[in-house]
Structure 1
Amino acid sequence: MYLKTLRNTLLKYIPEKAIPLVIYLIKEHKINLKIVSQRQSKHGDFRALPNGETQITVNNNLNKYQFLLTLVHEIAHHVTYKKFGRVQPHGKEWKTVFQHLMLPFLRPDIYPKEMLPYLANYFKNPKASTDTDAKLSLALRGGMAEPGKSFIFEIPNGSIFRYKNIPYKRGNKRRTRYECTNLNTNRVYLFNQNVEVLLLE
């Protein structure tokens, strides 16, 4: 009964061909998975609980490709913790485990073939967040921002936009990120080029 419910739930969130592999990982590693409302600061989370159990949460607003990648990212934290104890959160142990767990999913019947080169490049040295890899992040979203929003790189220099209910003004581009001024404090922050914002003017 549990497996049928799990399969039906996963069907809403990840590509269908990935479901048997994900169910295997959840059973094999005794994963406690919770699907939660969107959080601005992260796509997913791994936590070691005081009672000795572990919990993984993934945001419910991600598309199927983002959700799968985030879920395996967090399962890699779980496996790393069980195998090595407390180590650097995104250190060499986690990178190796993440690469190993994700490899069976990097197939054209799970991820569209146009996404696979970006994923292959990312997995040469996976980072804490896929959002730091602008090309991969854009590919995972199908090259499109949420309805009503724009990517930072799309809006003109000097534009006023809102991010997390704070108004900013877009400035110049540094190598891969944009200088943006918080209009409430006049402090300058660096934004990844594929951050989604609400354009005001």
Structure 2
Amino acid sequence: MSNIFHKYIPEKSIPFVQFLIDEHSFDLKIVNQRQTKHGDFRKLPNGRFQITVNNNLNKYQFLLTLVHEIAHHVTHQKFGRVQPHGKEWKTVFQHLMLPFLRPDIYPMEMLPLLANYFKNPKASTDADVNLSLALRGNTAETGKHFIFDIPYGSFFEFKNIIYKRGNKRRTRYECLNMKNNKVYLFNQNVEITKKTFK
């Protein structure tokens, strides 16, 4: 298994990940990108546990997502059915992530952002705008833009719907849905496709 990991996670994290896989029995599947999630954890009908992680993530995102999902598995083993991202999971996730928060695994500039996130980890790293941007290397997918990169009044497409970018509130942008004329709040790190109308 560790041979596969060279492609997906930072080199120095491989022994720790291998230890977690050996310690907590589960099947790992690397799957095609899903729009709504980076990874998931579930119990299969045969009683085995399976973790899936998207194949389009960079090494830093992949590692964080994998440990996030392993934390669900460990929490399930230790506590049974509890809140998916409740205090038990947060504690387990913080504990499992500690060996990875090193400058030979995550770049120096990411470590303070990760430390801040792990004070109270959320269900998704996307909720932490600065960390989310740093994990992506501050660059959007090819052909996409971040909302904060497009001018006020610009049109953009998100999940097949056209929006018009409005004012920035504290951390989010008001965007007008051109289909139903309602205003929605978007995180500034959401990736969108710019639209130009002649």
- CA deviation string 1:145-179 (max 9, x = no partner): 11221111111111111112221111122221111
SS in 1 for 2:51: strand
- Aligned pair 1:115/2:110, yes or no? yes
Alpha-carbon distance between aligned partners in 2 of 1:81 and 1:48, rounded to the nearest angstrom = 10
Q: 2:46 corresponds to which letter in structure 1?
A: N
- Aligned pair 1:84/2:65, yes or no? no
SS in 1 for 2:108: coil
Aligned to 2:10: 15
Which sits farther off after the overlay, 145-154 or 58-67? 145-154
- CA deviation string 1:87-113 (max 9, x = no partner): 000000000000000000000000000
Alpha-carbon distance between aligned partners in 2 of 1:49 and 1:177, rounded to the nearest angstrom = 38
CA shift, 1:49, in A, is 2.6
SS in 2 for 1:169: strand
Aligned to 2:160: 165
- Aligned pair 1:42/2:34, yes or no? no
- CA deviation string 1:115-140 (max 9, x = no partner): 00000000000000000000000111
Alpha-carbon distance between aligned partners in 1 of 2:59 and 2:126, rounded to the nearest angstrom = 16
CA shift, 1:60, in A, is 0.6
CA shift, 1:52, in A, is 2.5
Alpha-carbon distance between aligned partners in 1 of 2:43 and 2:170, rounded to the nearest angstrom = 37
SS in 2 for 1:172: strand
- Runs of 4 or more, structure 1, over 6 Å off, are none
Alpha-carbon distance between aligned partners in 2 of 1:67 and 1:176, rounded to the nearest angstrom = 26
CA shift, 1:31, in A, is 2.0
CA shift, 1:180, in A, is 1.4
CA shift, 1:188, in A, is 2.1
CA shift, 1:200, in A, is 1.0
Alpha-carbon distance between aligned partners in 2 of 1:56 and 1:182, rounded to the nearest angstrom = 35
CA shift, 1:198, in A, is 0.8
Find the partner of 1:127 among 108, 122, 132. Answer: 122
- CA deviation string 1:48-88 (max 9, x = no partner): 23332221111110000000000000000000011101100
CA shift, 1:185, in A, is 2.1
Computed over aligned residues only, the root mean square deviation of the Cα atoms, in angstroms, reads 1.0
Find the partner of 1:151 among 146, 154, 159. Answer: 146
Q: 1:187 corresponds to which letter in structure 2?
A: K
Alpha-carbon distance between aligned partners in 1 of 2:77 and 2:133, rounded to the nearest angstrom = 33
Find the partner of 2:97 among 102, 115, 134. Answer: 102
Find the partner of 1:66 among 58, 61, 64. Answer: 61
Aligned to 1:51: 46
Alpha-carbon distance between aligned partners in 2 of 1:43 and 1:65, rounded to the nearest angstrom = 12
SS in 2 for 1:93: helix
* Identity within the alignment, %: 77
SS in 1 for 2:3: helix
